[in-house]
Chain A
Amino acid sequence: MDFDPLADAMHRGIITASNVVVGYGDKIVWRDASFAIGQGEFVAVIGPNGAGKTTLFRLLLGLQQPISGTIEIFNARPRRGNPRIGYVPQRHLIDSETKIECLELVRLAVSGTRWGLNPFSHDDRKTALNTLQAVGAAELAHRSLGALSGGELQRIFLAEALVGNPDILLLDEPLSNLDIRRGQELVQLVNNIVRSRNVTAFLVAHDINPLLPFLDNVIYIANGKVATGKPKEVLTSESLTALYGVHVEVMRDSKGNVAIIGTGTEDHHWEESYGVQH
């Protein structure tokens, strides 16, 4: 009997999608996505602006339903408020005037969903401090959110998402405002979390190169289609040419970094992204 890698992946997958089509109203964002992601995998979600990367997250968060096809998380349909998912949304800006300290934001990830006052309960404070420590941000606990650098902020958001020990992390463009070094530090941190806690992390990014050494899988979204697999399967001239429908060349440098040439879509997808986000 032949070994079928896709069937095997489906079997052990904690997140599975088959023939998923998503869109807003009549407009289809992408179609025919089938993939399986296992426990403890580091997955990059790559693609041009407006391709529907955030839409994938909205699907997993239960904020949006597929037009057709099925998507399952732990053998159940995605639902809003799933405690097994930690989420870091894409944030365009943080109010630089806000004086509120980091600890308060992370505390709310613990207790912000509880109604009523609990003046005698301080478990949220302790949990928040522990989680800040886990992402190496204990010393930021009493700093104002508005005074943090981009890299520091992303650590705080990561702590916020990690509260409650989720099995899945969804990180939407955490690297977008970071310089190369801070970006690498954050990717290392996410990788450590993935490996030490056996968490499955999805990280949306524009540039795959800082992530390449750590990735288990890539979800490449472009041209209304989705390609998934190991980085070396997806990031080939053949696979990306099939995805984009035009000839695409994948080149590698001596360190294994890839350059994808010929897509020509980076710019004109930009305007669409606004309509698609909310």
Chain B
Amino acid sequence: MNFVKRLFSTFLAASILFTGSIQTVQAAMISAEQVAESSITSQGNQDRTLIVAALSREDVQSALVARGIDPAQAKDRVAALTDEEASVVASQLDTAPVGGIIGAIVLVFLVLLLTDILGFTKIFPFTRSVR
């Protein structure tokens, strides 16, 4: 059942995607993106990425909302991503590194102080690494 559902939604996403693209394309110009892609990936790969990206958009949106982001903002944020980036975000939202200086430092003070001094880390601003 789940498989049938997934197949159907893939098909639906693909058909919406392609009718959409036909209507919105500027005249019959071919985009720089297409030129760039064709030099790297094969045709089949391109289509797959497109479908994955189309399916992921919803995922990305709800994933962002579930993580405390305002829905209106989430929409703008997703819109600012390229298709490729959006699918990456969808798959990595919980594992990709995020910058936040405090992080989860529940570590032994001495260990980090030592590694700071050795220049392997830089947790404490007051330390001066030996090298």
A associates with B: no
Which residues of A come within 8 Å of B, CB atoms? none
